[in-house]
Amino acid sequence: MSTQKEKLLAVEDLKVYFDIYPPNSMPWTKPQKLKAVDGVSFDLYAGETLGIVGESGCGKSTLARAVIKMVPAEAGKVMWMGTDLLSSTKKQMQKARSDLQMIFQDPLASLNPRMTIGDIISEPLRTHYPKMSASERKEKVKEMMIKVGLLPNQINRYPHEFSGGQCQRIGIARALILKPKMIICDEPVSALDVSIQAQIINLLMELQEEMGLSLIFIAHDLSIVQHISTRVMVLYLGNVCEITTSEQLYSHPRHPYTQALISAVPIPDPEIEKNKEVILIEGDLPSPMNPPSGCVFRTRCPKAQAKCAELKPQLEDAGNNHQVACFYAD
């Protein structure tokens, strides 16, 4: 990523641990530490989209929530335009939240069923701009509804009257109503039909171009991530395996875990799809309560050596804006 662009977000060695008590434990039993995010660092620049990929349970959503202080962090720094969010007061954080918004995975569950969509979309305006008149709020809501592909005459309807794709558009409208600088998209299309997924992705890209947004986009579908992302970060068990430009990652993946993920992406050409080599990852994801020593991927890695059990590989520059955490990367 070019340094000419403004750096909005800088995450440094972020750790998120949860205290887990064993079943039927006594009150004096010490909790075990579940290392959901274990020392993640990355930057986000103005106008770019950072894709985050990895298996379920790798800490993608926890990382996103920790960045905007929805879950407490154990250690690290989250610098937003020069201010550390993790040490911010409640008042400072409320001010910053107008620039930091989130779109959730389940569109219907993220909306209050007792509120009309007009009230849902305007709620951030009531919180951050309490002196704004009701008529002005309503006008802004209608403008935003048109922008995301909803009809203004639907403003008094309730979420259950809309389809999944329409509910996600409502969630997007709510996130955009304050004109934020960054939006975290936590698997925003995984609950939608394929045709609707394409519409939502295209809408996000159009709005990003129009409003100059920066996005953190979390998804399991690597094809979608490739389409929308400027750069991609690969997470495994709360650790960064690899981070580089989208083009570089998909054409030259260097970490064994990334190579396995990329090999599983379907190719539209039947002949190429039939003859391509698919790298299978053996075994199950280890428990984050008891992660492997050294490299956390070593128990499933075909290239693992004795060194991998003793030392934890650090994210190092491999040239061409490419960073990899592996002793034996290609």
* Secondary structure (3-state) at 149: coil
Quick check: 272 pLDDT over 70?
no
- For position 320, what pLDDT does the model report? 83
Average pLDDT over residues 62-82: 93
- For position 273, what pLDDT does the model report? 63
Give all domains of the chain, ordered by start, each with its CATH number: 7-22+30-99+180-324 (3.40.50.300)
Nearest to 178 by CA among 98, 68, 94: 98
Q: What is the rounded CA–CA span in Å between residue 138 and residue 121?
A: 9
- For position 269, what pLDDT does the model report? 65
Average pLDDT over residues 196-215: 92
Quick check: 1 pLDDT over 50?
no
Cα–Cα distance list, 311 to 15, 75, 152, 298, 325 (Å): 19, 21, 58, 11, 11
Quick check: 230 pLDDT over 80?
yes
Quick check: 107 pLDDT over 60?
yes
Q: If you write DSSP's letter for every residue of 67-79 in order, what string do you get?
A: HTTSS--SEEEEE
Average pLDDT over residues 1-27: 83
Residues of the chain above pLDDT 70, percent: 97
Amino acid identity of residue 206, one-letter, is: E
Average pLDDT over residues 120-146: 94
- For position 161, what pLDDT does the model report? 94
- For position 4, what pLDDT does the model report? 65
- What's the mean pLDDT when you consider all of the chain? 90
The pTM assigned to this predicted structure is: 0.90
3 confidence band (pLDDT: 50, 70, 90): very low
